[in-house]
Amino acid sequence: MWFGMGSEEYAVIAMLRTPGLVDWRMRFWEFKKLARAAGYVIVDEVVQYKPHPLSATLFGRGKIDEIRSRAEERGADTLIVWNELRSIQKLNLERFTGLRVIDRYELVLEIFQKNAGDKLAKLQIELAFLEKLIPYFKLREKLIHGPRDKPFFRAGGEYGWVPKVAWLRKRRSRILEEIERLLREKIAQIRRRKALGFRIATIVGYYNAGKTSLFNALTGEEKLVSPQPFTTLSSKYSRLRGAEKILLVDTIGFVVDLNPKIISSFRINLEDMLEADMLLWVVDISENSDILEMRVRSTVEILDDNELLEKPIVIAANKIDLLTENDLGERIGFLRKLILRYVGSEYEIVPCSAEKGIGLENLIKVLINELGLTS
Ligand SMILES: Nc1nc2c(ncn2[C@@H]2O[C@H](COP(=O)(O)OP(=O)(O)OP(=O)(O)O)[C@@H](O)[C@H]2O)c(=O)[nH]1
Ligand SMILES: [Mg+2]
């Protein structure tokens, strides 16, 4: 692939912490998990606190020197930055550290890239890379051809060669056209199903919550399930067991700080949510309170940003097999409070275990009831 990365790369990860970022520890923890999932070996971690990030380099100069020497000492090739980098910051960090530099957004795209199965997903990821990299290469062309011409370390960056911006733009418009065509086909297909009287329940939720496991258990499908983040990129429709006219849809997982709207190219997953008659929100109820709260909060933000909170929502509290009965009652109570706090209303919460097949018949009943259909 033309923008590939090697696996098992050694990386330093870094974050610039600003005053408003109260839960930075958890965000950083999650970020590390993503870096490992992308195949990086994290050899060092750097967190700098700064009220105002520097517009040219993000980090202060002293910190950048520290990153460079630590990377050199530990043999790292890549610097992964939690903050979303502007092109000038990425360029300068590359120049000053001699490392390949990616931000959180590109990191997630790299994981997507590993998991993309179908053509639409692949095109969408390439488009997302292009949107990010065109301004970067444009700036680079300007600097390289400018008066203070300096050779850059690893000149190609993600490419291994230096592409011309004009070429990238042409490629982008070709991909956009192709995506539009595939999207139109998909949306027409969804609408046809609705016209045939099908109601659609779209599964949403954080990555790893067990969305696909539940989809499989409720439909009899055998889609790939794994503990790695973003196993599912492409949506899939299938009939709900025990209901002739209900289609269940499996979708991409959410992650804190990453709105599917930001990945504007991942439109098909968003379309599947927007076209839905209801949402089945899957929550991993076995996670500890802090993590559960962060995940509920960021899921609500994403749903709200995309005007999805107006749809009927049922929550599947999944992975109850990992809890004792006592703990379960307490966790459900806590989840109910979180929903009230962040959404301001109440949703039906159905405890279940996709893996052990617990609570599924009840969940099916609730879905049929919510959609006003009889089985
Ligand atoms: N113990 C337990 N594990 C579960 C349950 N449901 C799913 N899992 C595990 O959780 C992990 C994630 O499951 P998936 O179904 O792939 O989760 P997902 O939400 O589709 O994840 P993405 O597609 O990556 O967003 C897998 O390792 C599953 O085996 C459950 O009810 N109990
Ligand atoms: Mg999945």
Q: Is the CB of 207 under 6 A from ligand 1?
A: yes
Helix (H) or strand (E) holding 79: strand 78-81
Q: Tokens 């994403």 map to which residue?
A: 302
Correct CATH for 9-115 of 3.40.50.920, 3.40.50.11060, 3.90.870.30, 3.20.20.70: 3.40.50.11060
Q: Is the CB of 319 under 6 A from ligand 1?
A: yes
Sign, CA dihedral 2-8-9-15, equals positive
**∠ Cα 42 44 49 (to 5°):** 120
Q: Is the CB of 321 under 6 A from ligand 1?
A: yes
CA 233 – ligand 2 centroid, Å: 7
Quote the pLDDT of residue 146: 53
Sign, CA dihedral 70-74-77-80, equals negative
Are 157 and 77 in contact, with CB atoms under 8 Å apart? no
CA 78 – ligand 1 centroid, Å: 30
Gyration radius of the chain's alpha carbons: 22
Quote the pLDDT of residue 259: 65
Which candidate, 106, 101, 116, 111, places its Cα nearest to that of 38? 111
Q: Is the CB of 230 under 6 A from ligand 1?
A: yes
Q: Cβ contacts of residue 349 below 8 Å, gap of 6+?
A: 315, 317, 332, 335, 336, 339
Residue range(s) occupied by CATH 3.40.50.300 in the chain: 197-370
Sheet holding 9-17, edge to edge: 40-49, 9-17, 78-81, 100-103
225, 250, 319, 328, best to mutate for ligand 1 pocket (most atoms within 8 Å of CB): 225
- What does the pLDDT profile of the chain (375 residues) look like in tens digits? 334 444 579 999 999 999 999 899 999 999 999 999 999 999 999 999 999 999 999 999 999 999 999 999 999 999 999 999 999 999 999 999 999 999 999 999 999 888 888 888 899 889 988 988 899 988 988 876 654 444 444 444 444 455 678 889 999 999 999 999 998 998 999 999 999 999 999 999 999 999 999 999 999 999 999 998 888 888 889 999 989 899 999 998 988 877 665 665 577 888 999 999 999 999 999 999 999 999 999 999 999 989 999 999 999 999 999 999 999 999 999 999 999 999 999 999 999 999 999 999 999 999 999 998 755
Ligand 1 atom 9 nearest Cα: 210
Helix (H) or strand (E) holding 284: strand 278-284
Quote the pLDDT of residue 158: 47
Q: Is 227 left (phi over 0), alpha (psi -120 to 50) or beta?
A: alpha
Please tell me the distance from the alpha carbon of residue 371 to that of residue 375, in angstroms, as a whole number. 11
**Token duo for residue 256:** 């804190």
Quote the pLDDT of residue 148: 45
Class of domain 197-370: alpha beta
Residue range(s) occupied by CATH 3.40.50.11060 in the chain: 9-115
Neighbouring-strand partners of residue 11: 42, 78
CA 244 vs. chain centroid, Å, equals 32
**∠ Cα 106 107 108 (to 5°):** 90
